[in-house]
Amino acid sequence: MGAARKLGVSEATLRAPDLLRPFHGVRAKERELPAQWRGGLLGVHEARHIGRALDFATQMGAHEFFTHATAAVLLGLPLPPRMVRDDEVDVGVLAPRRPPRGRGVAGHQAVPDLTSVVQHRETGLQLTSPATTWAMLAASLRHPYDVVAVGDAVLRDWRLEPLASIAEMSRAVDAGRRVGVARLREALPRLRARSGSRPETWLRLTIIDAGLPEPDLNVDVFVAGEYIACVDLAYPQHRIAFEYEGEHHLRDPRQWASDIERYERLAAAGWLVLRATKQDVFEQPGRFIARARRALASRW
């Protein structure tokens, strides 16, 4: 608020009821997010979290940087819903500095040898590098599949430029002792660059851990040289595809109509498509695995 007063903003304006008070000394209006985060692809909680980070950045010290869940959200890394909070951002400093404290801030003291800090390309904000962010999150991700899912997103080169290389991620694991390093070492050989989303990673690992062959990821299907579809996971040699049906597929009539046409094209080309729901992937995978076993046995 001191900066605002120096710019001539009146006390009455600063106390206006339509201003938000996200942090001590910060007044803000509801902001429109930068264009790269708009378009309906960002969840409500992620959007609010980014807004909070941008508000905190107005008073951020030169030695401070975003870390953990906040860095992950800014980088577009997929987190379990419980980890994305509307009311708190993660802010780090390098030891021996003391981490920030206060309402709406989770402060972290980072070990210099284990931490790489970079500038966010779109906003210019300081945050932990993609590889460091993944390594830090291993301590708080409850399920090992999510450690892999975040790592997959860092490496993803399918329709995107990867955020880091496998060599950078290996260096983050080997940099020294950190909480969760065993989980990182277990996850590292399971990372794949063509996974398109968190559910796709979970579905792939569920299939593999059930003893089935590892499916290919985001497979383009052609018939007589003509492009038919891209499927999430597949056994191309058996013409079996696995598709994750997110809730947006059901809510968006255009997407639903497009899905139906795509599945009809695949069926006409002799493909068997197994569609998985949120319940199949995250809650009760047993029934889906039984379907996958039957499908594979019918085509073996």
Q: Which residue range is the domain that position 143 belongs to?
A: 31-193
Q: Are strands 240-244 and 89-94 parallel, antiparallel or unpaired?
A: unpaired
- Residue 131 and residue 144: Cα distance in Å, rounded? 17
Q: Is 181 helix (H, G, I), strand (E, B) or coil?
A: helix
% of the chain beyond a pLDDT of 90:
72
* pLDDT score at 300: 79
**Final residue before a domain boundary, out of 163, 193, 223:** 193
Mean pLDDT value across residues 173-200: 96
> Which CATH number covers residue 226?
3.40.960.10
Instruction: Let me know if residue 20 belongs to a domain.
Output: no
Contacts of 280 (CB under 8 A, 6+ apart): 287, 288
Judgement on whether residues 185 and 203 belong to the same structural domain of the protein: no
Instruction: Let me know if residue 260 belongs to a domain.
Output: yes
Instruction: Let me know if residue 111 belongs to a domain.
Output: yes
Instruction: Let me know if residue 23 belongs to a domain.
Output: no
Task: Report in angstroms the alpha-carbon separations of 170 from 135, 149, 175, 192, 195.
Answer: 10, 16, 9, 14, 19
Q: What is the mean pLDDT of the chain?
A: 88
Instruction: Let me know if residue 51 belongs to a domain.
Output: yes
CA 250 to chain centre: 22
Judgement on whether residues 52 and 108 belong to the same structural domain of the protein: yes
Judgement on whether residues 167 and 204 belong to the same structural domain of the protein: no
Q: For residue 290, what are its two tokens?
A: 């039984």
Judgement on whether residues 90 and 177 belong to the same structural domain of the protein: yes
At 243-264, the pLDDT tens digits run 999 766 566 677 778 888 999 9
Task: Report in angstroms the alpha-carbon separations of 11 from 6, 19, 59.
Answer: 11, 12, 19
Q: How confident is the model at residue 4 (pLDDT cuts 50, 70, 90)?
A: very low
**Final residue before a domain boundary, out of 165, 193, 221:** 193
Judgement on whether residues 135 and 269 belong to the same structural domain of the protein: no
**125 close to 74: Cβ distance less than 8 angstroms:** yes
**Final residue before a domain boundary, out of 159, 193, 227:** 193
Judgement on whether residues 98 and 170 belong to the same structural domain of the protein: yes
User: Quick check: 59 pLDDT over 70?
Assistant: yes
Instruction: Let me know if residue 171 belongs to a domain.
Output: yes
* pLDDT score at 6: 45
Q: How confident is the model at residue 180 (pLDDT cuts 50, 70, 90)?
A: very high
Contacts of 119 (CB under 8 A, 6+ apart): 125, 126
At 79-112, the pLDDT tens digits run 999 999 988 999 999 999 999 999 899 999 999 9
At 44-53, the pLDDT tens digits run 889 889 989 9
Q: For residue 69, what are its two tokens?
A: 């869940």
Mean pLDDT value across residues 197-202: 97
Q: Which residue has the higher pLDDT, 52 or 6?
A: 52
Judgement on whether residues 177 and 65 belong to the same structural domain of the protein: yes
Judgement on whether residues 166 and 242 belong to the same structural domain of the protein: no
User: Quick check: 222 pLDDT over 80?
Assistant: yes
What is the model's pTM? 0.86
Judgement on whether residues 122 and 231 belong to the same structural domain of the protein: no
Instruction: Let me know if residue 80 belongs to a domain.
Output: yes
At 117-176, the pLDDT tens digits run 999 988 899 999 999 999 999 999 999 999 999 999 999 998 889 999 999 999 999 999
Q: Is 104 helix (H, G, I), strand (E, B) or coil?
A: coil
* pLDDT score at 169: 98
Judgement on whether residues 120 and 225 belong to the same structural domain of the protein: no
* pLDDT score at 38: 40
Domain count, the chain: 2
Instruction: Let me know if residue 41 belongs to a domain.
Output: yes
Judgement on whether residues 119 and 259 belong to the same structural domain of the protein: no
**137 close to 128: Cβ distance less than 8 angstroms:** no
Q: For residue 259, what are its two tokens?
A: 């899905």
- Residue 292 and residue 91: Cα distance in Å, rounded? 44
Name the β-bridge partners of 234: 216, 241
Judgement on whether residues 220 and 159 belong to the same structural domain of the protein: no
